[in-house]
Each structure stands twice: as structure tokens, then as C-alpha cells.
Amino acid sequence: MTGNTDAVLTGPRDARSRPLSGGARPLRAALPLAAVAAAFTLAQLLLVRPGMGLGWDEAVYVSQVGVRAPAAYFSAPRARGISLLVAPVAAWSSSTVLLRCYLAVLSGLALYVASRAWRGLFPPRVIVLGAALFASLWVTLFYGLQAMPNYWVAVGASVTVGSYLRAGAPRSGRAAFGGLAAGAVLMGWTRPMDAVWVVLPLLATGLRHRHWHRLSVLLAGLAAGVAEWVVEAYVRYGGLLHRLSEGSAIQGGLGWHLAVVDQLRSLGGRTLCRPCAGALPGPLVTFWWCALPLLAALALLFAVRAGRTAVTALPLACAASAAFPYLFLIGYAAPRFLLPAYALLAFPVAAALLRLASAPPPRRRPVARGALLLVAAVHLGVQLTVLVRTTDVATAGHRSWSRTAATLHRLGVRAPCLVTGEDALPVAFYAGCSSAATSGPNADTTADAIARTARRVPTATLVPAGADPPGYARGWPWVAAGTGRLYYTPGRGEGFPVRPRQVGDG
């Protein structure tokens, strides 16, 4: 970006991007975007379904404020924002359906608000298409109604970058600065390290062009968002540097890792690719992901020619910065990690697609538009196919945890109780028990402490097939549970066949 950045933050406005006047016209302009947000909410409820149980990470976040189970171990990388987000429902109800419906509606409203942050920067039809592109990705639909931070970081990133650009326009008003602060707070509140990566290009731009007012608002919002996480670092984790070091260790050690291919492997519906091996998904699944860099480059080229460089270059830079650690610094992959990058790419890419549709001579435009619509239809079909398959796999896994929890209840392992071993954390959440681990990223106790607890309250240990139970459970009775065994201290259950531990049992 050269010259006076303030002068090109919004770029030359044509008739399509000029603010509308009058009460009815802004309302009519907002209706298509509202329709996209409503369709996004409805698609989540119909395709992902509220009845899908809570996942592993969700159980951690919800248990911090929920009534269903004691708070699970909260590891160093996590932040409390999602727990606070779900508190209005989880603090008084254990209903997963109610929580899912609440998050689906909230995520639809968030999509609308985040897209509105870009009004005046792009024509309304670009904003509507960009919102639709982001909302139609299977990973967006899958995580929108989950108690997970990545979608909310994406929303916060979109609001932050859009508001930063709008704050440089004449007569921008307080709304742009309010959005800038609110977006930064939301990102810092839900995932502090992601927030830092997103705002790096904004900080560099602000320092270079002396946007002191915007920088002060941005930094104040970011500080407010991460304050609790920093304070907790000193209260519970031995200081900020120690928390960062522990978080890095839990993630396998941050350093140079080429995870681009791992991210490609995860696009077929693997919610966590760790370790990440196996064949790549088919070209129909990965086509859109490979096309994104090309479309981003086209968007920048078109913006430079139109004299709107900053409006496109800044979100592209923030998207690249947000994606960088997950493509090059972490040795595993999950598709949700790149949601902030997708949200920031959405509007520049939408502008490029509309430009491509109108670029050919008038006689050839119907052919070009028809081709783009066909590609879009195939893309949408692939996204929905992956979404349904991923939802089915996740739902089956959650039901398995629920069945194990039901087994615990029939054995008399009821609250107050303790669960350890394989998948202990989610199973404990479903059963209303505490969970504990002696090793791994959630290690929070010792074998001696578990043995002492087992003498006071019902305790269970989940052991994979073929593995020996831990020393404290070797004398406990067991039953088959899934693909493994469930060792437990006798509770008050009756009428369920159990087998005592025998010499020589595996």
C-alpha cells in the first residue's frame, strides 16, 4: 500500500457501494443478508441437528459453567470465552438440544453483524455473496452451533478488520470504532493467540501510517479480551511465559511444521487430524481450497486496478497471518483452525467472482455466469455431503460416550464419582462425574490420588482392548464397554451382569 492509506481505505465508491438514504432502502438492502443469516441458522438445525451430543472440547468448555458435571481440567491453551458464551443456557439447563438451538441462533446473528461490518467497503451484493460463501462451507456449518471458539474468532476477525477499514472513512462515526473494539475483545476472549496473529497486519499498517486513534482502540479491545487469560496465567499456571510454554507443549511443540498437506487431508471431514496420515480426499473436495489462493490473487489484482488496494490487501494480509501458524507451525491439523482465514477471505473472493462473471463481453457473459453457477452448485453439493458424513460420524461417537455413561449409572457409578482412562473426560461429562488423568495433555493428578478417591466415591477406569488396567484398578470388577473394558469400584447398581477380575485376565 502506498500513498495516504486513509484516502483509499474505502476506495472510490460507485453507485452500488454508496450509502443508501431513507428508511425503506436500507431495510431492503439488509434483507438479502438477513436471509443468508437465517438460512445459515436453519441449515445448522436441519443438517447438523441439535440432538448431536457434545464433543470432547465442548464438554470442557460447558462443564466450567454447566450444571451437568463438575468442571473438567482446563488446559493452558484454552480461554474462558466460550464458557461465558454458553453460560446463559448451560448454567441452568443440561439440555444439549436447547444449547445447540441457542448457539445456532446466536451464530446466525453473529454472521449478520460481522457481514454488516463491511458495508460501504464493498457493494451490497458482494457482502451478501461473501457471507453466503463463508456460511456454506461444511466446517462453518458444523462448528457454528458448537461450543467451540474457532467460529467466534472468525466472527471477531471479520468485525475487527472491517471496522478498522471503515474507521478510516470520513464521518465513520462511533459504530466503526465500537466494532473495532468489540471484535478485538471477542477474539481475545475466545482464543488469545489467534487474536494476536489476526491483528498483526493491522498493527503494522497502523504504525506505518500513524493511525493512532484506531490503534489505541484496537489495543484496548485486545487487552480487555485477553486480560482474564493473562491473569489466570499467573494465578493457575505459574506465569504468562510458563502458560505459553505449557500450551506449546500440549500442541506438540510449536516450531516449523509444514501442515499444508495435513490441512488438505482434514477437508474430507476429519475434525482432528493427529497424527495426520492416509490418502488425500478427492479433487472435488479439495478443489475450492486450492482455488482460494488464486481467487485471492485475482481479488488483489482487480482491487489494484480499481484503486481500492487497501480494502482488499488488508483482509488478505490478516487472513494469511491468521492461517500461518496452522499451516507452518503446528504438526497436526483440524479444519476449524482456518475458519478466521476463510471469514476474512470471503468478501475479497466474492468481489473477484462477481468481477469474473461480468468481465467477458456481453455476448459471452451468460456462458461465463452459467459456468460459475455450475461450479458453485457442485461446490455446495460437495460441502453438504461432507457435512452430513462428518455429522453422522461425530454423532455416533457422542452416542458411544453416552452409552458408556449409561453403563456407569447402571453399575451405580453416579455423582459424586470419578472417571479415568480412555475417553474419560467426555464420558465423565455425560455421566455427571469428575474426570482425571495421570498423563497426556489433561494430566492433573496421580495414581495414588485416584486410589484414595476410589475408597471414598464410586470410580471407574476405561481401558482399551488388550491393555492392562492401571495398578489401582487391578482388583476391580469389570464389564465390556465398547471396544474395551470398564473397571469400576462397586456402586449401588443392580441387575447388570458383571465379571470379577480373574488371575490372567488381560
pLDDT in tens, 197-243: 999 999 999 999 999 999 999 999 999 999 999 999 999 999 999 99
88 and 237, same domain (yes or no): yes
Percent of the chain with pLDDT over 70: 91
Quick check: 455 pLDDT over 80? yes
* Mean pLDDT in residue range 335-355: 96
The Cα 4–Cα 310 span in angstroms is 10
- Domain with 462, as residue range(s), is 394-488
* Mean pLDDT in residue range 8-33: 54
Contact 482, 451 (CB under 8 A): no
The Cα 333–Cα 88 span in angstroms is 31
Query: Hey, is 420 helix, strand or coil?
Result: strand
196 and 316, same domain (yes or no): yes
Contacts by 316-319 with C-beta closer than 8 Å and gap 24+? 316/344, 316/345, 316/348, 317/201, 318/157, 318/161, 318/198, 318/199, 318/200, 318/201, 318/202, 318/344, 319/344, 319/345
* Residue 188 belongs to a domain: yes
> Given this model, what pLDDT does residue 350 score?
96
Quick check: 506 pLDDT over 70? no
Quick check: 16 pLDDT over 60? no
Q: Are strands 459-464 and 434-435 parallel, antiparallel or unpaired?
A: unpaired
* Mean pLDDT in residue range 160-189: 91
> Given this model, what pLDDT does residue 252 score?
77
* Mean pLDDT in residue range 16-23: 42
* Mean pLDDT in residue range 58-75: 95
Q: Single out the residue in 313, 344, 359 at which a domain terminates.
A: 359
* Residue 246 belongs to a domain: yes
> Given this model, what pLDDT does residue 256 score?
87
Q: Element (H or E) spanning 206, and its range?
A: helix 192-209
Quick check: 374 pLDDT over 70? yes
198 and 151, same domain (yes or no): yes
* Mean pLDDT in residue range 151-170: 94
Name which of 429, 406, 362, 376 is nearest 62 in CA terms.
Answer: 429
How many of the other CB atoms lie within 10 Å of CB of 291?
Answer: 13
* Mean pLDDT in residue range 351-370: 85
* Mean pLDDT in residue range 398-408: 94
* Residue 169 belongs to a domain: yes
355 and 398, same domain (yes or no): no
Largest CA distance in the chain: 83
> Which of 101-115, 160-174, 330-344 is least confident?
160-174
Query: Hey, is 461 helix, strand or coil?
Result: strand
Name which of 165, 129, 111, 118 is nearest 19 in CA terms.
Answer: 118
Quick check: 502 pLDDT over 50? no
> Which of 221-230, 271-280, 342-351, 439-448 is least confident?
271-280
**For 499, phi and psi rounded to 5 degrees?**
-125, 120
354 and 404, same domain (yes or no): no
Contact 159, 372 (CB under 8 A): no
Q: For the chain, what is the mean pLDDT?
A: 89
* Mean pLDDT in residue range 380-385: 96
Give the total number of structural domains in the chain.
2
412 and 352, same domain (yes or no): no
Measured at the CA of 395, the angle between CA 141 and CA 469, to 5 degrees, comes to: 130
275 and 130, same domain (yes or no): yes
Contact 140, 45 (CB under 8 A): no
* Residue 494 belongs to a domain: no
Greater confidence, 16 or 469? 469
> Given this model, what pLDDT does residue 491 score?
57
317 and 195, same domain (yes or no): yes
Greater confidence, 257 or 58? 58
152 and 201, same domain (yes or no): yes
* Residue 217 belongs to a domain: yes
The Cα 243–Cα 249 span in angstroms is 10
Of 238-252, 268-282, 415-429, which one has max mean pLDDT?
415-429
Cα 88 from chain centroid (whole Å)? 20
* Residue 280 belongs to a domain: yes
Quick check: 28 pLDDT over 80? no
What is the DSSP code (8-state) at residue 362? T
Three-class SS of 108-176: HHHHHHHHHCCECCECHHHHHHHHHHHHCCHHHHHHHCCCCCHHHHHHHHHHHHHHHHHCCCCCCHHHH
90 and 232, same domain (yes or no): yes
* Residue 506 belongs to a domain: no
* Residue 375 belongs to a domain: no
Greater confidence, 47 or 251? 47
Measured at the CA of 72, the angle between CA 70 and CA 74, to 5 degrees, comes to: 140
Q: Is the dihedral of CA 43, 39, 60, 390 positive or negative?
A: positive
313 and 269, same domain (yes or no): yes
Greater confidence, 185 or 331? 185
Contact 407, 430 (CB under 8 A): no
Quick check: 465 pLDDT over 90? no
**For 486, phi and psi rounded to 5 degrees?**
-115, 105
> Given this model, what pLDDT does residue 381 score?
95
Q: How confident is the model at residue 364 (pLDDT cuts 50, 70, 90)?
A: confident
266 and 402, same domain (yes or no): no
Q: What totals of helices (H) and strands (E) does the chain contain, helices first?
A: 19, 5
> Given this model, what pLDDT does residue 306 score?
87
- Residue pLDDT, tens place only, 259-296: 999 999 999 999 988 888 788 899 999 999 999 999 99
> Given this model, what pLDDT does residue 391 score?
96
